[in-house]
Amino acid sequence: MVDEKTKMTEQTDKHAVRRSAEQRHAGELERLKAADTDPRPEGWQLSPRAVRRFILGDAAFDVSRKFYGDDPLVDRAIVTLMGHQGLMLVGEPGTAKSLLSELLAAAISGDSALAIQGTAGTTEDHIKYSWNYALLLAEGPSRRALVPSPLFQAMEAGKLVRFEEITRCAPEMQDVLISLMSEKQLMIPELGGDARVHARRGFNIIASANLRDRGVHEMSSALKRRFNFETVKPIRDHGFEVELVMRQLERELAAIGATVVVGREVVELLVTTFQELRAGQTREGAAIKTPDAVMSSAEAVNLVYAASLEALHFGDGVLRPRELANQLQGVVLKDNADDIKRVRHYFDTVVRERGRRDDLWKHFGEAARQLWL
């Protein structure tokens, strides 16, 4: 018989906007675990080979690909997490650093929820532990009054902890990690004596930082030495990125039960625009100025999803260049006057020229220019 708590959890999961990776892919994880005969590092739910299958996909096990891009990077990340060094994922915004860290945590620890979000307000309490002050006043310092951080919990359980946007934290907060990563233990002086938490095998840290934010608070050399750095780069293969955007869009629309006619050629147009503005060069080899706005694959998915919703609710259910152009304003044309000039120049030159030979580009350009009238 299912208890009330389980029923509430199931209902919450059913209507959640986004479930955790271990919830979304529970069936795949179970299949991989059941068939996994390879050696597993102590504390790991799956072997390194099965972790790779989970992230990069394997048709033999009916496991979908979830991370698109640099496959050897995934191998190196898995190897790093078996060792003593932490894993630092750096890259431009929207290159799926957080997704990769979530997938790794779900496959290795079965729990991707142990995460710290780095901000300017992150304190040592967020990284180590804090106190339930009602119990602290009533009983004094005790294990019952202690509120463990996600990192504390990961050390106790032998799991991975994710530290997102670490360079947004003040340097003195970042450096709290130095002794934790070196000694693999956390001291609790308030409990007296030799009170400490020793990290169990399986514990490690996956941190991430945006290249555009690295100058916010540069990491100390001592902390850098405790991480292996991996750069997650934008997808360069045009067909690969088109396939990624198409698949992600299909999943998003299926999740809300929406039916929209989306032609591959429309998505190809969008991906071409994003890749050219991102790279600062057209496919013909002409140099163009790149906007400061994020032109990532993730933003392309967000844009085409929004455009599809516009086509569904305000059009005839067929995605056309007009909807792409309308939604482009929210992604690129924000509050940066220089970005508006750069994108407008792209449409006035590159898109206009292509529109003379291709009706799809012609309609795209005409719709976009309406935004600047």
How does pLDDT run across 319-367, given as a tens digit for each residue? 999 999 999 877 776 667 788 888 889 999 999 999 999 999 999 999 9
**Residue 258 confidence (pLDDT):** 92
pLDDT-derived band at 5 (thresholds 50, 70, 90) equals very low
Return the closest-CA partner of residue 44 out of 113, 107, 103: 107
Q: Are strands 227-232 and 160-164 parallel, antiparallel or unpaired?
A: unpaired
**Residue 276 confidence (pLDDT):** 95
Whether residue 243 sits in one domain with residue 225: no
Answer with the one of 232, 255, 275 that is the final residue of a domain. Answer: 232
CA distance 168 to 218: 9
**Dihedral angle sign, alpha carbons of residues 6, 8, 11, 12:** negative
Segment 143-154 mean pLDDT: 96
Whether residue 163 sits in one domain with residue 77: yes
CA angle 207, 208, 214 (to 5 degrees): 120
Range of the domain at 256: 238-372
Return the closest-CA partner of residue 174 out of 129, 212, 210, 222: 222
- What is the phi/psi pair of residue 333, to 5°? -85, 75
CA distance 175 to 219: 8
For residue 91, is it within any domain? yes
Whether residue 320 sits in one domain with residue 205: no
Is residue 215's pLDDT more than 60? Answer: no
Whether residue 265 sits in one domain with residue 246: yes
How does pLDDT run across 42-59, given as a tens digit for each residue? 999 999 999 999 999 999
Whether residue 322 sits in one domain with residue 191: no
For residue 280, is it within any domain? yes
> Is 227:85 a contact under the CB 8 Å cutoff?
yes
For residue 59, is it within any domain? no
The tokens describing 4, both together, are 């009330």
Answer with the one of 232, 247, 279 that is the final residue of a domain. Answer: 232
CA distance 263 to 241: 15
Whether residue 342 sits in one domain with residue 255: yes
CA distance 320 to 270: 11
> Is 249:302 a contact under the CB 8 Å cutoff?
no
For residue 296, is it within any domain? yes
Answer with the one of 184, 213, 232 that is the final residue of a domain. Answer: 232
Is residue 213's pLDDT more than 70? Answer: no
> Is 163:97 a contact under the CB 8 Å cutoff?
no
For residue 20, is it within any domain? no
User: Which CATH number goes with the domain that contains 225?
Assistant: 3.40.50.300
> Is 294:92 a contact under the CB 8 Å cutoff?
yes
- What is the phi/psi pair of residue 207, to 5°? -110, 160
For residue 196, is it within any domain? yes
Whether residue 271 sits in one domain with residue 189: no
For residue 321, is it within any domain? yes
The Cβ of residue 98 has, within 10 Å, a number of other Cβ atoms equal to 19
How does pLDDT run across 237-279, given as a tens digit for each residue? 899 899 999 999 998 999 899 999 999 999 999 999 999 999 9
How does pLDDT run across 278-295, given as a tens digit for each residue? 999 999 999 999 888 888
* Alpha-carbon distances of 213 from 93, 171, 199, 207, 304, rounded to whole Å: 9, 13, 30, 14, 27
The total number of structural domains that make up the chain: 2
Whether residue 205 sits in one domain with residue 134: yes
Whether residue 247 sits in one domain with residue 199: no
Share of the chain above pLDDT 90, in %: 75
Whether residue 226 sits in one domain with residue 97: yes
How does pLDDT run across 84-131, given as a tens digit for each residue? 999 999 998 888 899 999 999 999 999 999 999 999 899 999 999 999
82 burial (CB, 10 Å; 0-12 / 13-18 / 19+) is middle
Q: Which residues contact 4 (CB under 8 A, 6 or more apart)?
A: none
CA distance 46 to 54: 10
Whether residue 222 sits in one domain with residue 273: no
Whether residue 161 sits in one domain with residue 220: yes
Is residue 156's pLDDT more than 50? Answer: yes
For residue 39, is it within any domain? no
Return the closest-CA partner of residue 291 out of 336, 325, 327: 336
The pTM score is 0.85
Rounded to 10 degrees, the C-alpha dihedral 346/328/309/67 comes to 90
Q: Would you list the DSSP string of 37-70?
A: -S---TT-SS-HHHHHHHHH-BGGGTB-----S-
**Residue 3 confidence (pLDDT):** 52
> Is 290:279 a contact under the CB 8 Å cutoff?
yes
* Alpha-carbon distances of 323 from 8, 47, 193, 250, 327, rounded to whole Å: 39, 45, 65, 17, 6
